[in-house]
């Protein structure tokens, strides 16, 4: 843009209707021709023409053009502005203006004008008035008595006392009756006058004509009117007045208007009435104005004085504006009519013809705008040098009108140019004209909320036409300051308010504003320390800043500035916890070093001297917020160190209350550096147990680390609580449930101390705890669970039956019945079971409750139910007592396979060092079922490390250990059998193989059979296959020197079948026949016969290699058995003979036949 003149100037454009069509399309000229034609056609009759068009489309110019098109001398235009006279009386003012116009046009003489005006304005009225005075009763009585005064005087004077002693009377006694006739007449006349007045008043009352004058005529009125004969006032008077009416009546208006019109329209002259600007009236006045217009041109045959009295009216109007007024709501466009389109009916019934004035098209009004800009600004905007400026002004005007659904009418264009000119004169030296034009078009929304400038809340298409720095220029126009200072005025205050606003979204709404970062820096630099004087405000600023997504470096600088303001903190007056939480947001966004320093400052800030110290719960909440913020900023290790260095005030009562406030948080009060002596804490807890048991109950778990090392000092505190619980029921407050919780916490901390157990057992046995547990269950199930946990802790699974009556608390039978129901119920009481499970998880040893569940089983379902719930919730800790692992089979049976499967899954998730948890003795006592369940579980769903420990332990046992285990059938055997069945466990043949060989020989010499596990032969799988053959050979050789028994050898075959089946009989045939086959031959075991069948071939081969003596001895033994009386044994021996290949002799056959005959 080229330089503007030193003094910007702009010509004011007038908004009067033009005499010529300024638009290139000639649309207004065509419309004016149609209007002139319509006026001519109406001729000598009444008619109205509607000229329809939006506001400012040029309706007035069309009327002017139409007037030019009409024949000269035959038509005159009289224009009446409805908008200018909207508050006046329409009929009177219309007639007055019409008469004035007729006088100006010399269509009426002076006399006719004067007469017409008097008819419009004046009317004569005669008024008659009746007047008389109305007297009161005391006044009338006074008048009557005044007339009688002479008589009274004459009569009463005789009785008057003398003036002085001895003086004669004023009037002699005889004076009254000694009067002469003139004197008597003088006295009688007043009396008769009074009688006449009263009589006349009575007569007036009886006169019907007089009584019709008013409904309230009375004797008082009659006497008053009679007394008026002595007055000069007129009774009646008549007045003539000229009265000025507000508005002529409709009939008078029609008559006068038509008379004037007939005089003015002589010689075929016609007057065209233009009732203009109805579309500028408020909507609620349009309906009345429409009706008044109708009175001008609507025909009234009785008052039309010939053809010269007809009316031609032209009504310019905006269709939408009129229809919205008739809709009744100001929004719709429909008018209620009968039949047809209501929108059309209104105008069809009003006008003979409606002519529409269309707005100019874009090509027309663009050139019109150019012309007006040049006319107003001259060389400042004309020529090629300013072509871009004119185009941008045209575009922003076009877009603004389109957004508002408006047309570019001549009047709007002129108004726009004039407004731009007004601001150009002020700012043309520093602000581009296009920006000024944009401001004019959006002035309303900018002045209503200047923040839209910085936020850029304008149509983006329009903003592309603005020069650079438009935000500064718009702000300068809005605030009337130089552009250099406009941005600060625009942004500084809103951003400062947004920082400290209650609505956190306010600041977020400014982040996209041009210059936001620079202004935010300035605001923080100037205001942050002032905000810190009121910590609530600084806290709010931090909370608001956190809600805004900012570029990292800018955000970091903002947080650093807030952090630097912390040393200026004033005291927190209201809602300290909430305010401090906001301050902690600052620490959360600082780097590690700054955060640590700021955290120390805030910690000291919240720990002032005792007289300024915040409440314990407020201090605790503040520390929790501080820990959270520091961990997020500097990491967990820094937070732990900071927490460890945090020292609460050196006050036992403060620490107890603060510890209670820490209870629901994830941080422990015990992790702080509390310097209060434990003895003082314990002593203060005694009082707290009495005054605020709820605080004490929450505080004790948080004070665990302080109290546990001094647990031997806890029994006096426990005795105090027990004493309070034993108090008579009517002296107890509602804190008995909290005291149960306190007692449970202290008992858990104290452990199994004898004194504590004695104190606890005492309040269990006398029924105190049961009474309180039952009472607490009505209001707090968790506290009732504390009571029951204490009972179980004291007596285990023993059935508890305290006295039915407590010495202080009274009847206890309901509590006893309640306890038995819970203990024996396999269903129901679920809420209580859940609560007790939570107590067990937090305080009880897991091993204790597994042992309770295993030992009671179905006899006391309470314990298995609780244990199942504990496992389901996965909220327990494993203690060092792992006896339940040995009884896993029973545990599985008691709580169910699903629960034990879940338990194993949870144990797999725990980070437990099982090699430290399970000692050498316990590992061999583990339940084989536990090992199997672990082995069968999917990977990661059970603690498989236990199996590795088992395998390692089994592999580390010596030969003596294994021989003892095999001989006594200990847990190691069961574990080994399970492991070899579930995996490829192979043990050392040196130790395990030797133990098996020795155990085999022990079995072979047994005279009496012992019962062993049916799966015992699986043990042999732990030996390598080659070693199995070696051990079998060694057993065979050892049998040669052992006195084996048929029972023992048969048992050996059953228990160590995998070894027996591999014995190399032909390697030592004499030993095999003498010590092994010989015993098998006479064994009654069916299992032996099966074994012989399996090794028949090996045995025959062995017999062939054995010495004849050994074979003969075996033969004789077999034949001797055939002579026995046990037929089953005889039959088995015959089968054995056959299997071994011995030839029976004839005597043997006869014996056999004889046996058969006996059977038959």
Q: pLDDT at position 222, please?
A: 65
Strands (E), 318-406: 353-356
Q: pLDDT at position 102, please?
A: 83
Q: What percentage of residues in the chain have a pLDDT greater than 70?
A: 82
Q: Is the pLDDT of residue 91 over 90?
A: no
Q: pLDDT at position 204, please?
A: 65
Nearest to 772 by CA among 799, 790, 756: 790
Q: How confident is the model at residue 307 (pLDDT cuts 50, 70, 90)?
A: low
| Order of strands, sheet of 353-356, starting from the edge strand that comes earlier in the sequence | 75-81, 270-276, 312-317, 47-52, 353-356
Q: pLDDT at position 338, please?
A: 44
Q: Is the pLDDT of residue 43 over 80?
A: no
Tell me which of 293-302, 431-440, 643-652, 1142-1151 is least confident: 1142-1151
Strands 353-356 and 805-806: unpaired
For range 655-670, the mean pLDDT: 94
Q: How confident is the model at residue 335 (pLDDT cuts 50, 70, 90)?
A: very low
Contact assessment for residue 753 and residue 712, using Cβ atoms and an 8 Å cutoff: yes
For range 196-218, the mean pLDDT: 64
Run of H or E including 810: strand 810-811
d(CA 824, CA 230): 122
Q: pLDDT at position 1146, please?
A: 42
d(CA 114, CA 135): 50
- State the alpha helices, DSSP H only, in 456-548: 460-463, 470-479, 483-499, 505-508, 516-532, 535-546
Residue 199 tokens read as: 């009589």
Please tell me which residue, 52 or 657, carries the higher pLDDT value: 657
Cα angle 910, 914, 919 (rounded to 5 degrees) comes to 150
Place of tokens 């008013």: 214
Q: How confident is the model at residue 659 (pLDDT cuts 50, 70, 90)?
A: very high
Q: What is the mean pLDDT of the chain?
A: 81
- The full length of the chain comes to 1160
Strands 810-811 and 805-806: antiparallel
Q: Is the pLDDT of residue 999 over 70?
A: yes
d(CA 992, CA 1021): 11
Residue 810, beta-bridge partner list: 806
Tell me which of 593-597, 1069-1073, 1080-1084 is least confident: 1080-1084
Q: pLDDT at position 18, please?
A: 56
Tell me which of 253-267, 704-718, 1075-1089 is least confident: 253-267
**What's the pLDDT tens digit per position in 497-506?**
888 888 867 7
In the CATH hierarchy, which top-level class contains the domain 27-122+245-356?
alpha beta
Please state, as a whole number, how many other Cβ atoms lie within 10 Å of the Cβ of residue 1137.
20
Residues 6+ apart with CB under 8 A from 863: 797, 849, 852, 853, 856
Q: pLDDT at position 251, please?
A: 72
Contact assessment for residue 469 and residue 462, using Cβ atoms and an 8 Å cutoff: no
Q: What percentage of residues in the chain have a pLDDT greater than 90?
A: 21
Contact assessment for residue 286 and residue 280, using Cβ atoms and an 8 Å cutoff: no
Q: pLDDT at position 332, please?
A: 42
Q: Is the pLDDT of residue 175 over 50?
A: no
Tell me which of 69-83, 303-317, 439-453 is least confident: 303-317
Rg (CA), the chain: 63
For range 362-373, the mean pLDDT: 78
Q: How confident is the model at residue 1144 (pLDDT cuts 50, 70, 90)?
A: low
Place of tokens 């209670």: 660
Phi, psi of 273 (to 5 degrees): -90, 120
Q: Is the pLDDT of residue 257 over 50?
A: yes
pTM above 0.85, yes or no: no
Contact assessment for residue 428 and residue 396, using Cβ atoms and an 8 Å cutoff: no
Q: pLDDT at position 333, please?
A: 44
For range 660-667, the mean pLDDT: 94
d(CA 1003, CA 1039): 11
Q: Is the pLDDT of residue 454 over 80?
A: no
Contact assessment for residue 1029 and residue 990, using Cβ atoms and an 8 Å cutoff: no
Please tell me which residue, 1144 or 176, carries the higher pLDDT value: 1144
Q: Can you give the residue ranges of every domain in the chain? A: 27-122+245-356, 133-155+173-240, 1064-1160
Exposed (0-12), middle (13-18) or buried (19+): which is 636, by Cβ within 10 Å?
exposed
Residue 462 tokens read as: 């329009």
Separation in Å, CA 870 to CA 99, 531, 791, 840, 1081: 106, 52, 19, 7, 60
For range 760-788, the mean pLDDT: 90
Q: pLDDT at position 21, please?
A: 59
Tell me which of 236-250, 649-663, 1118-1132 is least confident: 236-250
**What's the pLDDT tens digit per position in 539-583?**
888 888 888 888 888 889 999 999 999 988 888 766 677 788 888
Please tell me which residue, 642 or 293, carries the higher pLDDT value: 642
Nearest to 625 by CA among 659, 593, 579, 566: 579
Run of H or E including 1060: helix 1057-1060
**DSSP assignment letter at 990:** I
Q: pLDDT at position 141, please?
A: 66
Run of H or E including 275: strand 270-276
Residues 6+ apart with CB under 8 A from 788: 773, 819, 822, 832, 836
For range 485-493, the mean pLDDT: 70
d(CA 288, CA 295): 11
For range 467-487, the mean pLDDT: 80
Q: pLDDT at position 378, please?
A: 86
d(CA 875, CA 882): 17
Residues 6+ apart with CB under 8 A from 112: 263
Q: How confident is the model at residue 68 (pLDDT cuts 50, 70, 90)?
A: confident
Q: Is the pLDDT of residue 283 over 90?
A: no
Strands (E), 892-1022: none
Contact assessment for residue 652 and residue 684, using Cβ atoms and an 8 Å cutoff: yes
Q: Is the pLDDT of residue 362 over 60?
A: no
Place of tokens 């005789």: 158
d(CA 6, CA 662): 74
Residue 724 tokens read as: 């309070």
Strands 122-130 and 236-244: antiparallel
Residues 6+ apart with CB under 8 A from 1143: none
Exposed (0-12), middle (13-18) or buried (19+): which is 750, by Cβ within 10 Å?
buried
Residue 347 tokens read as: 């105008």
d(CA 397, CA 386): 17
Q: How confident is the model at residue 735 (pLDDT cuts 50, 70, 90)?
A: confident
Contact assessment for residue 862 and residue 822, using Cβ atoms and an 8 Å cutoff: yes
Place of tokens 């008597």: 184
Q: How confident is the model at residue 1025 (pLDDT cuts 50, 70, 90)?
A: confident
């Amino acid at each position: 843009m080229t330089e503007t003149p030193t003094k910007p100037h702009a010509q004011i454009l007038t908004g009067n209707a033009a005499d010529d069509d300024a638009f290139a399309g000639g649309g207004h000229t065509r419309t004016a021709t149609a209007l002139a034609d319509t006026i001519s056609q109406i001729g000598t009759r009444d008619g109205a023409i509607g000229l329809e068009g939006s506001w400012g489309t040029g309706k007035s110019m069309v009327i002017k053009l139409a007037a030019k098109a009409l024949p000269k001398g035959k038509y005159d235009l009289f224009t009446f502005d409805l908008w200018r006279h909207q508050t006046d009386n329409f009929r009177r003012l219309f007639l007055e203006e019409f008469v004035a116009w007729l006088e100006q046009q010399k269509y009426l003489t002076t006399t006719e004008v004067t007469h017409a005006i008097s008819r419009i304005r004046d009317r004569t009225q005669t008024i008659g008035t009746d007047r008389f005075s109305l007297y009161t009763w005391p006044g009338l009585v006074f008048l009557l008595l005044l007339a009688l005064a002479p008589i009274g005087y004459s009569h009463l004077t005789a009785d008057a006392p003398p003036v002085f002693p001895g003086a004669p009377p004023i009037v002699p006694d005889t004076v009254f009756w000694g009067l002469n006739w003139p004197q008597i007449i003088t006295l009688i006349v007043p009396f008769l006058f009074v009688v006449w007045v009263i009589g006349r008043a009575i007569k007036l009352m009886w006169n019907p004509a007089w009584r019709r004058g008013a409904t309230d005529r009375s004797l008082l009125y009659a006497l008053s009117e009679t007394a008026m004969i002595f007055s000069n006032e007129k009774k009646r008077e008549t007045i003539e007045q000229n009265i000025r009416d507000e508005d002529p009546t409709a009939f008078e208006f029609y008559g006068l208007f038509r008379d004037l019109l007939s005089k003015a329209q002589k010689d075929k002259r016609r007057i065209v009435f233009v009732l203009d600007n109805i579309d500028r009236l408020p909507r609620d006045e349009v309906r009345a104005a429409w009706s008044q217009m109708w009175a001008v041109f609507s025909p009234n045959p009785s008052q039309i004085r010939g053809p010269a009295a007809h009316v031609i009216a032209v009504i310019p109007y905006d269709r939408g504006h009129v229809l919205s007024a008739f809709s009744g709501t100001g929004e719709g466009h429909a008018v209620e009519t009968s039949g047809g389109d209501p929108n059309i009916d209104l105008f069809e019934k009003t006008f003979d013809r409606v002519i529409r004035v269309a707005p100019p098209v874009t090509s027309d009004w663009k050139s019109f705008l150019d012309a007006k800009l040049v006319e107003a600004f001259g060389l400042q905007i004309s020529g090629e040098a300013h072509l871009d400026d004119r185009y941008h002004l045209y575009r922003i005007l076009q877009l603004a009108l389109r957004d508002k659904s408006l047309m570019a009418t001549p009047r709007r264009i002129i108004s726009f140019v004039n407004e731009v000119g007004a601001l150009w004169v002020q700012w043309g030296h520093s602000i581009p004209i296009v920006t000024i034009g944009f401001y004019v078009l959006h002035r309303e929304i900018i002045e209503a909320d200047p923040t839209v400038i910085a936020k850029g809340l304008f149509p983006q298409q329009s903003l592309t036409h603005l020069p650079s720095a438009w935000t500064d220029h718009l702000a300068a126009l809005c605030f009337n300051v130089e552009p250099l200072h406009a941005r600060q005025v625009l942004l500084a205050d809103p951003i400062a308010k947004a920082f400290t606003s209650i609505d956190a979204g306010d600041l977020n709404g400014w982040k996209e504003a041009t210059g936001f970062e620079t202004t935010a820096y300035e605001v923080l630099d100037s205001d942050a320390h002032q905000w810190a004087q009121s910590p609530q405000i600084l806290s709010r600023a931090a909370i608001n800043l956190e809600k805004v997504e900012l570029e990292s470096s800018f955000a970091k600088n903002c947080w650093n500035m807030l952090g630097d303001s912390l040393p200026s903190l004033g005291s927190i007056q209201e809602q300290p916890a909430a305010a401090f939480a906001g301050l902690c947001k600052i620490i959360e966004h600082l780097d590690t070093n700054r955060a640590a320093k700021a955290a120390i400052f805030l910690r000291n800030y919240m720990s002032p001297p005792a007289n300024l110290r915040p409440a314990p719960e407020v201090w605790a909440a503040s520390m929790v917020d501080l820990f959270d913020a520091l961990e997020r900023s500097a990491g967990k290790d820094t937070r732990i160190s900071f927490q460890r260095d945090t020292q609460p005030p050196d006050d036992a009562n403060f620490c107890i209350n603060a510890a209670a406030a820490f209870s629901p948080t994830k941080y422990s009060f015990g992790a702080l550096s509390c310097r209060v002596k434990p003895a003082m804490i314990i002593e203060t807890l005694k009082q707290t147990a009495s005054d605020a048991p709820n605080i004490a109950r929450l505080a004790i778990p948080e004070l665990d680390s302080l109290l546990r090392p001094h647990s031997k000092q806890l029994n006096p505190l426990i005795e105090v609580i027990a004493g309070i619980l034993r108090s008579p029921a009517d002296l107890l407050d509602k804190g008995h449930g909290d005291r149960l919780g306190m007692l449970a916490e202290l008992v858990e901390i104290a452990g199994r101390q004898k004194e504590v157990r004695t104190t606890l057992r005492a309040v269990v046995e006398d029924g105190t705890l049961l009474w309180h547990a039952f009472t607490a269950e009505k209001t707090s199930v968790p506290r009732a669970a504390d009571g029951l946990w204490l009972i179980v802790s004291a007596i285990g699974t023993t059935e508890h039956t305290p006295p039915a009556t407590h010495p202080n608390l009274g009847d206890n039978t309901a509590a006893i019945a309640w306890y038995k129901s819970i203990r024996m119920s396999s269903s129901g009481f679920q809420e209580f079971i859940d609560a007790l499970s939570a107590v067990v998880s937090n305080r009880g040893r897991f091993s204790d409750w597994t042992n309770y569940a295993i030992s009671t089983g179905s006899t006391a379902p309470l314990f298995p139910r609780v244990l199942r719930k504990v496992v389901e919730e996965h909220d327990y800790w494993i203690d060092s007592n792992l006896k339940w692992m040995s009884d896993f089979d029973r545990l599985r049976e008691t709580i169910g396979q699903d629960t034990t499967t879940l338990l194993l899954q949870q144990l797999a998730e725990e980070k437990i060092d099982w090699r430290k948890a399970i000692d050498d003795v316990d590992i061999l006592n583990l339940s084989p079922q536990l090992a199997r369940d672990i082995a069968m579980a999917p990977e990661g769903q059970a603690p498989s490390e236990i199996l590795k420990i088992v395998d390692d332990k089994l592999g580390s046992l010596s030969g003596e250990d294994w021989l003892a285990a095999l001989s006594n059938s200990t847990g190691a055997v069961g574990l080994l059998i399970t492991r070899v069945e579930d995996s490829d466990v192979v043990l050392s043949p040196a130790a395990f193989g030797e133990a098996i060989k020795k155990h085999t020989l022990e079995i072979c010499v047994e005279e009496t059979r012992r019962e062993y596990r049916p799966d015992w032969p699986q043990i042999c799988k732990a030996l390598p296959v080659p070693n199995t053959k070696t051990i079998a050979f060694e057993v065979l050789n050892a049998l040669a020197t052992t006195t084996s028994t048929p029972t023992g050898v048969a048992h050996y075959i059953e228990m160590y079948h995998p070894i027996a089946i591999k014995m190399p009989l032909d390697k030592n045939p004499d030993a095999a026949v003498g010590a092994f086959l010989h015993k098998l031959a006479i064994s009654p075991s069916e299992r032996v016969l099966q074994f012989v069948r399996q090794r028949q071939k090996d045995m025959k081969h062995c017999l062939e290699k054995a010495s004849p003596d050994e074979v003969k001895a075996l033969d004789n033994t077999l034949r001797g058995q055939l002579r026995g009386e046990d037929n089953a044994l005889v039959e088995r021996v015959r089968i054995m003979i056959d299997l071994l290949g011995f030839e029976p002799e004839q005597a043997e056959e006869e014996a056999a036949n004889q046996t058969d005959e006996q059977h038959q």
